[in-house]
Chains A and B, each alone.
Chain A
Amino acid sequence: MSKILIIAEHRSGKLNSSTAKCVTAARAMQAQAIDIAVFSSDPAAVAAQAAKLDGVSRVLSLDHPANDPALAATLAPQVVALAAGYTHVLAPSTTFGKDLLPRVAALLGESMASDLMKVIDAYTFERPIYAGNAITTVQAAADRKLIASVRLASFAATGEQSGSAPIEAVKLDVPLPTHTRFIELQAGAQDRPDLQSAARVVSGGRALGSAEAFSIIYALADKLGAAVGASRAAVDAGYVASDLQVGQTGKIIAPGLYIAIGISGAIQHLTGIKDAGTIVAINKDGEAPIFEVADIGLVGDLFKLVPELTAALD
């Protein structure tokens, strides 16, 4: 039987939905207990949200001024101390989890599994390699701790329970490093749906040609209540911020509807959208690889078609 520790991801007092997806993965691991650890300088609100998640046994609240903002170097020794009583340690495969978990695994002397996409049993799972061109089945040693990051596009968020799991304050006595200092966060725009959890996403590519032209993408997204994404080429060219990049090295997403506009469909981009419900592509090149994966394709000039589509949604 597994005892699973999940490291909560949160920001500004809000639990990230990535945590609820980790709970879903944990529930498939013959879990006897699923505990969520909330590291914060003010964990109460986030702990209360975590305690509502269906399937959670306990929430551990780790209140420390050094826990905000979360730095891998500061959290890792604390997670290691907590991990003693657990068979598994999970975190989301977001930049938060990717930064933290390998540091934890190395301190524990354990191998780590990145981007767990399917749980077969407590120590057997699938994960993608080569930008998702191959899916591997991995057997982890059952006498070791399994440290794994959970691929968000592969798991639905667990629901809420009617009651609430107990919340326990935990005090750890571990020395924390001072060699790493947070200076600032230049946050991306927050007035739009979040790319990683949105039900609909509209993405633009290099074809947009400028930051100004991207306004037609925003206009369509607004009509649909959609988040905005972009190809690497569009980000590199400076049309949008880097946190909008979708793909192998950006965000891996699974919205119900994904609309790719002026995006060719390079393998690295497709890796990020493989789990989308319906993919729509608008591209002037009928031979573009994006049409190989699109459920609905429309060939033509985006500068004409996108405003027309936006208008048609009135």
Chain B
Amino acid sequence: MTDVAAESSKSAQPSESAPRIVAMRDVALAGGHTIVISLATILALLTLWAGATSLHLVSPLFLPTPYEVVTQFVAVYQDGYANATLAEHLGASLFRMAVAAALALGLAIPIGLAMGLNRWAKGIFDPPIEFYWPLPPLAYLPLMIIWLGIGETSKIALLALAMFAPICLSAQAGVRGIPLERVNAALSLGATRWQLFRHIVLPSALPEILTGFRIALGVGWGTLVAAELIASTRGIGYMIMSASNFLATDVVFVGIAVIAAWAFVFSYALRWLERVLVPWKGKG
């Protein structure tokens, strides 16, 4: 006994300085800082871009210099492009995204939850949703225009349809994933049907719904450019398309950068929302 104690205290001696912190080895990436690597990658890509263009390896028609893109950004920001300022283009696009997202959320959450809870709702809504959601939005865009005209309505309807399915399917999955014990525990505590829905079903499905909304926003941005292809006079997508008609590649780059920046902002905002609304996610 004493020998063991002496032995262990002896072996503990050399670690007077900072101890070596260890963790289990793992194949999958767990935590760890990637920010420096990512910044270096971005820097390398920018250098490559600047190098290729300044050495005239690529025609400016295909790839403008970073300097041209920045100048064009300032020009578009100050003077506008295609009869509207950058703010007006952006405003039109964001307005469509916001209205479509509100519509999609307002319809998809109740319908998805109902489909997870009720045989009739599932039976009624399953066929139309299963039919349309694998279709690419561009395929039914002509129908939207024929039915709803070339105004805002058809564009917003197209976006809302594209965003509806992922939210609806995730709300449904959220309901199906509720453990039976959790429901039974609430019932044996005297929950009414409404209390069961309000206090158990809705919060249980919320993490899944938010994940579905994140996917829906990605799909939404993808569909936006398609929606603005047709008979638009405003919108970032319209700006890109009209610039490409005049081979103004630098303006195309400006449009892409603006969309990328906003998609990043949305995605970041949603991650923040997830931390606020469902801090328990992944913690049992």
A and B together in one complex: no
Interface residues, chain A, with chain B CB atoms under 8 Å away: none
Interface residues, chain B, with chain A CB atoms under 8 Å away: none
